[in-house]
């Protein structure tokens, strides 16, 4: 039935829009959190540990000086797996 196909297409389009909107919002909030962590001088995400595992010259002092200025990229991939219906 043509109306069912149109509804499914619109639903997929709506789901994609929700996924993209959520990704942008989560990325933005994540960047804000990381900036706050850097300002406070705390590393609850363990970024320093990750850097240490790839840098033989790593030192706690060097990291403390560098951390507030490190650029952190946040990439979020939201996939809605299922949706409900409202009756």
pTM above 0.95, yes or no: no
Query: For residue 25, what are its two tokens?
Result: 């919002």
The helix/strand count (H/E) of the chain reads as: 3, 0
C-alpha distances in Å from residue 31, one per residue of 14, 18, 42, 47, 54: 26, 20, 15, 14, 23
Q: Select from 64, 73, 71, 74 the least CA-distant residue to 43.
A: 64
Instruction: Give me the chain's average pLDDT, please.
Output: 87
Express each pLDDT in 10-41 by its tens digit: 788 888 999 999 999 999 999 999 999 999 99
**What is the distance of C-alpha 47 from the center of its chain?**
15
């Amino acid at each position: 039935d043509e109306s069912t196909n149109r509804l499914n297409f619109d639903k997929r389009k709506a789901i994609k829009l929700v996924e993209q909107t959520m990704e942008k919002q989560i990325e933005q909030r994540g960047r804000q959190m990381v900036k706050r962590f850097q300002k406070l001088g705390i590393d609850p995400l363990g970024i320093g540990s990750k850097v240490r595992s790839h840098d033989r010259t790593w030192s706690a002092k060097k990291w403390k000086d560098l951390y507030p200025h490190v650029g952190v990229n946040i990439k979020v991939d939201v996939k809605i797996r299922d949706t409900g219906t409202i009756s």
